[in-house]
Structure 1
Amino acid sequence: MGSAQEGVDLALAAHRRGLLDERGLELVLAYYGGEGALAPLPPEEVLARLGGVSPERLRGLVPARGRPFGPRLLLRAPLGSGGMGTVYEGYDRVLQRRVAVKVVRPDKLGSAAHARYLARFEREARAMARVRHPSCVAIFDVGRGPEGEPYLVMELVEGESLAARLAREGPQDPRRVARWGKALAEGLAACHEAEVVHRDVKPANVLLDAHGLPHLTDFGIALDREALTKLTASMAALGTLGYLPPEQAGGREVDARADVYALGATLYEALTGRLPFEGKVA
């Protein structure tokens, strides 16, 4: 007889391997959240009964257990890392669902810029929490980890970034790009209605799910209207060169039109394999 957590770990591993479908995973997680929470059946028996996965198919499957991160979360494999933090695949033990967890990088916690990074992280949480749209990655929770490190719990989008897709396949079919453009434009419209300017739209910040649908992520430098009015010239050019409109690259104040420009540059690259403007920075 194994523990409920061992059963959850094995079910998640079987799901990642393609042995357990979404419905089977839901049934197994529901079991461990209910009658199997305290005195569960052996994990192999649970997966056989509820998921139709025979013990023979589970042999040699070693679940990635993850490490506890506070009383509620498990952190598993890292999914990516940026200037502000690392994103992990995670598991919410209370709501019994897989999530993405973005944790501030440890080296930022003791730096002289600590307050600035924390303010930026909290700004991302506020920005994402105000946006509700299928084309924007949803935020579920925000908090502090065991050592005081801030974290965000977000929707887990399984797939790859548009940047990875373009690097592997090159220019995309125009009809597919048109569908992406429509979905992302609607997502950005939801951002702008919430008075949020993303300010860093680019292929690396567009996630494509298993169905090929795009999701806008990484609101790390997103600013609301109040923050925009306080923005200094030294911070105005935050973003990624190649996708910035001239006014943003020049350090001037930007608004929602900057996101429209960046989306256009992103879609242009998806169609042609190159940016609309290339050259050296003056």
Structure 2
Amino acid sequence: MLVGQQIGPFEVEKELGSGAMGTVYKAKFHRSEEKIVPVALKVVALGLLGNEGAMARFEREANILKQLKHPHIVRLIAHGKINKSNPYIAMEFIDGEALDRILSRRGKLGWEEVVAYGKQLSEALQYAHDKGIIHRDLKPSNLMITRDGTLKLTDFGIAKDTDVTALTGANSTIGTAAYMSPEQCRGDRNLSNKSDLYSLGIVFFELLTGRKPFVAETTVEMFLKHVNEKSPRIGKLVNELPPKFESLILQLLEKDKESRPVDAAWVARMLTEIEEDAFARKSAGLSVAQARTAVPVNQSGDRMDATDKAAARALRGKRKKKKKAVPLPEQKWVHAVGLGLVLLVLGLGAYAALRPASPEKLFAAIEKTSEPAERAEAASRFLDAHGAQGGELADRAAAIFRSATVRDRERQLTNRNESRALRKPADGDDPEAFEHAMLAIDAEKDGDLPRAEGLWGKVKARFPEEAKLPYTADKQVLAKARWGWVADKRVADIRAAEGELRKLHEKLKNSQLYDQPMKFDPASPESLALRALRLQRIPDPEKAARTTDALVTMTEKEAESRAWYLIGCQLRLGRPAPPPDPVKVRVDNINAWLDATERTVRQIASDPDSADRAVHERVVRTRCREITELYDDDSQQPVKDAVRRATQVLESIPKRS
């Protein structure tokens, strides 16, 4: 129990709930001395700290939430570990109530309210699906409603990122049985956005009726009903349910995922249409009712009696009187001119309100955000409004859009490459370009950069004209253009890696030539690469391999360090298998290196006036410095002895007279 405790920057106030994975607390997050933010602090149950699967799922939830920034999805505030062992996730605190509690209190909701919540939920799902994330556990208890009626989608604990390997085993199922799609029940590992749409249909059914479409006593029986049993007609259970809404729910609950709506955005549009149709019907009905119930009155404003009505009929039967002259201000053409002026003013006002913001203002919106997806969206807005004018800002906006698009696509391709189950083209992908891209990524991992460059060239050759586009808002054209954009970027990365590797060899050469020490920084990719090259020269294959692996691990997920990742992969190319006794090999090679160095020292001593003395002395100093700099942190005693010997050899160089 953590209530009342101060844990790092969190001051725990009360427990909000607990489950199999852990406990959620309300806490104050002391972001700074001035700013305190209320958060929902989710902490892993102590009994799961040794469970690798549970820890991986908890870490997955944090990594997924980190990607999601949407008004209808709970926001990640921070994540880390308490006392370096117990993981936590600090999320936006939602002052509201879960939909399952609202449902238990009220029994069921009106269809208008369900439509309002459904639109918000569909927007959140579409945003997550566009990121390649499937929730997999959509149900009322994971939908929070704030006091102002805003819906927030929560609990991504078992969400699946379609671009990475799933944490579940083969043919396993995760989720709450009553809301699972038929493909989840069958254990299909290649779930798509259509699985969440089926669960959305279940949620709609329950909110409208107060019951679930299928009832079963066991999980297996529930699975069979989802797979085989037809959903009941909801129209018979809910009065005045719009037929279009009933059709939408039945379509969401189709057993065949291909028969469900194409995506959540389509569902949101249908819900908007249902809402608009209902409003139009109400407006028309109100007008008719008002016309039918209008009560005739006389000139004094009183209800007309039989005498008044008879008089009115008599008057209608008489000849029309000659029209009186109408004053100018009351003449129709004057009114028409006035109305025209009013419409003109309104039109000018609408134009002023709707016309695009200035290029500077729209570009400032791009620079305000650092999130790649948000930057791409802001750049797209700028280019749609002002891209045709060209100029420096348009060029910069196009570069930002292209960079963000490429980064997102790179992440998808890399993650698909890492999973055997996902290593296939997504819907709409070009199969040939996808296969070349997978082979190119494999070649990069193997350190075969020339082959990788050739394969990326084949990727670009699939859509050469689209690859030349600086920007496109057309999704179909963009799907083709981004192949070339990614290929261009990866080829540039390969060439940058080749350039950086040449610079490394030049630095090593200058270090020897000018007798310069080389400080080691384990947080620097360049420093790791230099150390790996120096260790290969000893040679020390085991320590060189460890250093190279550290370089690859540090840089493989960092887009800005792509060249260093490729260098690390190239340094691993053709490395020998690790020796059975790496310490012995290390000591033997160091001593062989020092034996050669001592021979050089003796040569200097035997011929102190040699013209090559300065060169020999530099060789000795370089070799001794290599040993002392590369192994000064080694804890093995034989290696420490070798370092001490290197120091002694350096001191044994005869002094110049």
Aligning the two structures, in what range does the TM-score lie when normalised by the shorter sequence? 0.7 to 0.9
Instruction: Provide the C-alpha distance between the structure 2 equivalents of 1:134 and 1:217, rounded to a whole number of angstroms.
Output: 12
Aligned to 1:109: 49
Judge which range, 154-163 or 89-98, deviates more: 89-98
Q: Determine if contact 2:132/2:163 at 8 Å carries over to the other structure.
A: no
Aligned to 1:68: 6
Within the alignment, does 1:160 sit opposite 2:131 as a pair?
no
More relative contact order in 1 or in 2 (CA 8 Å, sep 6+)? 1
Q: Helix, strand or coil: the match of 2:163? A: helix
Aligned to 1:137: 74
Instruction: Provide the C-alpha distance between the structure 2 equivalents of 1:230 and 1:100, rounded to a whole number of angstroms.
Output: 25
- Deviation (angstroms), 1:279: 2.3
Aligned to 1:222: 159
- Deviation (angstroms), 1:77: 0.8
Within the alignment, does 1:211 sit opposite 2:151 as a pair?
no
Give the aligned CA root-mean-square deviation in angstroms.
Answer: 1.6
Within the alignment, does 1:270 sit opposite 2:234 as a pair?
no
Where in structure 1 are there 5+ consecutive unaligned residues?
1-64
Within the alignment, does 1:146 sit opposite 2:86 as a pair?
no
Q: How many residues align?
A: 213
Instruction: Provide the C-alpha distance between the structure 2 equivalents of 1:228 and 1:161, rounded to a whole number of angstroms.
Output: 31
Residue type matched to 1:69 in 2? I
TM-score (norm 1): 0.72
Within the alignment, does 1:241 sit opposite 2:177 as a pair?
yes
Instruction: Provide the C-alpha distance between the structure 1 equivalents of 2:170 and 2:213, rounded to a whole number of angstroms.
Output: 25
Aligned to 1:200: 137
Residue type matched to 1:66 in 2? G
Residue type matched to 1:242 in 2? A
Q: Helix, strand or coil: the match of 1:204? A: helix
1:251 to 184, 187, 191: 187
Instruction: Provide the C-alpha distance between the structure 2 equivalents of 1:75 and 1:230, rounded to a whole number of angstroms.
Output: 31
Instruction: Provide the C-alpha distance between the structure 2 equivalents of 1:239 and 1:117, rounded to a whole number of angstroms.
Output: 15
Instruction: Provide the C-alpha distance between the structure 1 equivalents of 2:119 and 2:54, rounded to a whole number of angstroms.
Output: 33
Residue type matched to 2:4 in 1? G
Q: Helix, strand or coil: the match of 1:269? A: helix
Aligned to 2:320: none
Aligned to 2:632: none
TM-score (norm 2): 0.32
Residue type matched to 2:38 in 1? R
CA 1:190–1:221: 2 relative to 1, 3 Å: same
Aligned to 1:232: 169
Instruction: Provide the C-alpha distance between the structure 2 equivalents of 1:230 and 1:119, rounded to a whole number of angstroms.
Output: 8
- Deviation (angstroms), 1:180: 0.3
Within the alignment, does 1:126 sit opposite 2:66 as a pair?
no
Per-residue CA shift, 1:122-151, capped at 9, x if unaligned? 100111111111111000111001262000
Residue type matched to 2:207 in 1? A
2:30 to 79, 89, 93: 93
- Deviation (angstroms), 1:234: 4.2
CA 1:97–1:268: 2 relative to 1, 3 Å: same
- Deviation (angstroms), 1:229: 6.0
Could you tell me the percent identity over the aligned residues?
Answer: 38
Instruction: Provide the C-alpha distance between the structure 2 equivalents of 1:188 and 1:122, rounded to a whole number of angstroms.
Output: 21
- Deviation (angstroms), 1:233: 2.7
Aligned to 1:170: 107
Q: Helix, strand or coil: the match of 1:242? A: helix
Instruction: Provide the C-alpha distance between the structure 1 equivalents of 2:131 and 2:117, rounded to a whole number of angstroms.
Output: 21
Aligned to 2:17: 80
- Deviation (angstroms), 1:173: 1.2
Aligned to 1:18: none
- Deviation (angstroms), 1:226: 3.1
Residue type matched to 2:208 in 1? L
Per-residue CA shift, 1:3-29, capped at 9, x if unaligned? xxxxxxxxxxxxxxxxxxxxxxxxxxx
Instruction: Provide the C-alpha distance between the structure 2 equivalents of 1:133 and 1:251, rounded to a whole number of angstroms.
Output: 30
Residue type matched to 2:39 in 1? V
Within the alignment, does 1:181 sit opposite 2:121 as a pair?
no
Instruction: Provide the C-alpha distance between the structure 1 equivalents of 2:86 and 2:186, rounded to a whole number of angstroms.
Output: 34
Q: Helix, strand or coil: the match of 2:205? A: helix
CA 1:241–1:129: 2 relative to 1, 3 Å: same
- Deviation (angstroms), 1:227: 3.3
Greater per-residue strand proportion = 1
Greater per-residue helix proportion = 2
Q: Helix, strand or coil: the match of 1:226? A: coil
Residue type matched to 2:125 in 1? L
CA 1:272–1:228: 2 relative to 1, 3 Å: farther
Per-residue CA shift, 1:92-111, capped at 9, x if unaligned? 1124111111000111114x
Q: Determine if contact 2:26/2:93 at 8 Å carries over to the other structure.
A: yes
- Deviation (angstroms), 1:228: 4.9
Instruction: Provide the C-alpha distance between the structure 1 equivalents of 2:165 and 2:117, rounded to a whole number of angstroms.
Output: 28
Q: Which of the two has higher C-alpha Rg?
A: 2
